[in-house]
Structure 1
C-alpha cells in the first residue's frame, strides 16, 4: 500500500468495513488507522487467520495486527466504553492517540438518548442507545461541551461534566466517579492535537469510517439517520489526496426503522454478528439495492473502487436477487435525485416517498461482483468471500 486509503460503507452500516480495513492492514502494514466519524456505536467484526476475533467500536480494525489507531477530532469518544474494549484486547493503549478536540460522550448523554428514544414510542427514529447523537446535539447548543482535552484537568473536567448532568438529567452514576474514570482515561491515552498531519507524512494511512452513507446526517433518509458525516467529507478535511473505497454487501441490510425498499424477510440470510437489539431494533435483510447504493456513491462524491463483501452468500441463498429500479407513485426510478446540500426538509420528503416505493423487476446475475461494479460505475478492487483477510481477493 503506497497511498492513503479511505473505507466508507455505501449502505446502512454492517457491510464489513472492519474486515476490509483488516485485510488492507494485513497486506502492507500502514502507519495508522484513522477513525473519522461516529463513536462507540460502531461494531466492526474482525477475524484473523489464527482465529482471533474482536468486534471493534472505537479502536481501529487493524489493532490485532499491531497497527496504531488515531481517533480524530471528528470522533465522539466514550472513555468508559473504550476502557472495556481495550481491556478485552489486553489494554493496547500504546497503539492509541486521541485528538484533544474530540467530543466526550458521558453517561448523561447516553441516558438522555435512551429517554428521548423511548418517548417516541412507535415512532422511534432508530438509535444504538450509546448517546453519540445526544453528544453531538449537546455540543451544537453548548460552547463548553466536554472534550477529550478536558480529561487532562480535574477542575475543567468536573465543571463541564457537572454542567452536562445539570442540563440532561440523571444517569444513575455519581459525578465524581465519572470524573475519576475520565481522568484515568486521560492518563492512559496520548492526547494530541492535529496528530493526523504527522501520521500522514510518515506513511500511508487507512481512514476507517463508521455506519453508512445511507445513514448520513445530511444525505440519509431523515430522521432515521445518524448525527455523523458518513461520506468522505471528514476525510477530505484531514487529507488532500487519498483513494476512495466504497463497501457493499451482495445483499442490502438495515438495522431498525426507516425505508428499506428491497427488504425481503423471506430470504434465508442468518447473521452471526447482527441481531435485533433493544435500541437499534430488528436487523433487516433484502435484495441488493442498486438504486440506493448508486445514490450513496453519488452523494459521497464518487469512489475509486469497490469492496464487495459476502460474495459467498449468493451460492447458499438461491432466492437472492439484484434490484435495479423502483416504482414510486407509478413512476420508474433508476436514480434517486439528491436534494440540495444540508436540506433536511428535502430529505424528510424523500423519506416519505421511499416509504411507498416498490422494487422493480429483480434478477439474479451470473457474476455478482462484476454486475455490482457495473451497476455502481466503479471497478471492484476487493472481493470478499468470508470474514478473514485470506478470504479476500485483491485486484492487481
Structure 2
C-alpha cells in the first residue's frame, strides 16, 4: 500500500502509516521521495511521540525502514533522529544510489531563500532542493550514499561540491569523517534490495509532502524539488494499492496559493507552527476542488484516509468547498510544463470559494466529492483512534 498526501503536506501521513503497521504485520516501510524535511508525527497508544523525518513512521512498532533511491539522505540529520529513537540502525537499510544532502547543500539552500526576500518560496531550509538541483546539473559529481564506502571518492566529490558553492567555512575533513562513519553504521544495499523486501511480505510506501507541492504538478514556483505523486513507486513496484490522505480541513505550511484559507477558523496546531524557513502554518476549509485535482494528476486513488475528524465538533464553522468562482475543476497541463503551472498558480491566487456546504456525514461527503471510498477514519493521534471502514 502506498500512502500519499493529497494536499500541501501535513495531512497525517505519519499517523496513517503507523496505523497501517499496527493493523497487520508489515515487512518494511519504504520511503520513496523527499528527505530530512519530512515531519511526520506519530503518537503511540502509551503516549510516546516522535516526529519522523527519515526513519519510517512504523519504527516505534519495530517495522524496518528502507530509504529507496528516490530519497535524499542526510546522514547528519539522520544521526540526530536515530539518537532520539534509541539508535535503531538495525531497522534501517539505505539504497546506495540515493543522493546525499550535505552542509554545503543546506547552506546554499538557505542563502538562496534569504536572497528572495519577500518573494520567498517557503523552503524547509534542509537543502533537499539544492541537492536535487546540483545532481541534475552535475550528475557525475553528485555525492551518493554508496560514495561513503570510499573516503577517497567521497573526498573528491565533496571538494568539487565545496568549490562549486565557494563555501569553505565547513571543514572538508570533518564532513568526510562524519559521512564515512555513517557508512560504517548503516546497511547500504543495491536497488534490487527493494524487490526483495516486496517479495518477503507486505510493505507500506510512505510519501513526503503533498501532491499539491509536486515539482511538476504543484503551483510553480511554490513547490518542492520532489515527485510527491505515485510516479516513483510505479518505477519500483508495478502493482500496489493507492491510499490518498486528506484532513477534514486543508492546510498549507508556507507561501503559495490557498483558495480556501480562513484564519478565523479555530484550529490550533499542536505540532505545526511558524518556522523561519517555511513561514506560517495556514488553515482553511476542506478544498474538494484542489484535492480532486491532486487525485487526477496522481493517476487516481483506490481509497482515502481522512484524518482530524475529531475537530468537527469544536469547529462548527468548518465547511467543504466544492467549487471556486472560476469553476469546479482545475485543468492539469502537460507534464513538466512549468509555465502552465505558474499561470495556474496565478489564477488560483485570485480565486475564491463559490459553493460550500456543511455535511452531516463528512466521510460520505468527502468520499462522494473525491470519487473514492474511505478506508481509514482518524479521530485522534494514535492507532487506537483509527477506524477501518472497508477492505
Q: How many residues align?
A: 388
Which residue number corresponds to residue 241 of structure 2?
Answer: 243
Give the Cα separation in 2 of the matches to 1:140 and 1:168: 15
Tell me the secondary structure at the aligned position of residue 258 of structure 2.
coil
- The question of 1:191 aligning with 2:188 is answered yes
Give the Cα separation in 2 of the matches to 1:29 and 1:162: 44
Which residue number corresponds to residue 172 of structure 2?
Answer: 175
Deviations 1:270-293 (A, max 9, x none): 000000010001100000000000
Q: 1:215 aligns with which of 213, 218, 221?
A: 213
Tell me the secondary structure at the aligned position of residue 206 of structure 1.
strand
- The question of 1:349 aligning with 2:343 is answered yes
For the 8 Å contact 1:111–1:171, the answer to whether it is kept is no
For the 8 Å contact 1:289–1:324, the answer to whether it is kept is yes
1:314 is displaced (CA, Å) by: 1.0
Give the Cα separation in 2 of the matches to 1:111 and 1:59: 23
Give the Cα separation in 2 of the matches to 1:20 and 1:161: 38
- The question of 1:17 aligning with 2:6 is answered no
Give the Cα separation in 2 of the matches to 1:72 and 1:268: 39
Which residue number corresponds to residue 277 of structure 1?
Answer: 275
For the 8 Å contact 1:36–1:207, the answer to whether it is kept is yes
1:379 is displaced (CA, Å) by: 0.1
Which residue number corresponds to residue 302 of structure 1?
Answer: 300
Tell me the secondary structure at the aligned position of residue 33 of structure 2.
coil
Give the Cα separation in 2 of the matches to 1:171 and 1:217: 30
Give the Cα separation in 1 of the matches to 2:64 and 2:160: 34
Give the Cα separation in 2 of the matches to 1:395 and 1:239: 26
Give the Cα separation in 1 of the matches to 2:314 and 2:168: 46
Q: 1:45 aligns with which of 41, 44, 63?
A: 41
Give the Cα separation in 2 of the matches to 1:173 and 1:337: 46
Deviations 1:134-182 (A, max 9, x none): 0000000112200000010100011111111111132732111111100
1:395 is displaced (CA, Å) by: 1.6
- The question of 1:93 aligning with 2:119 is answered no
Counterparts in 2 of 1:125-144, with a 5 A limit? 125-143=121-139, 144=141
**Please, which runs of 5 or more residues in structure 1 have no aligned partner?**
none
1:214 is displaced (CA, Å) by: 0.1
Give the Cα separation in 2 of the matches to 1:243 and 1:219: 21
The TM-score, its normalising length taken from structure 1, stands at 0.97
Tell me the secondary structure at the aligned position of residue 135 of structure 1.
helix
Give the Cα separation in 2 of the matches to 1:237 and 1:296: 20
- The question of 1:109 aligning with 2:105 is answered yes
Q: 2:153 aligns with which of 156, 171, 174?
A: 156
Q: 2:115 aligns with which of 119, 123, 138?
A: 119
1:362 is displaced (CA, Å) by: 2.1
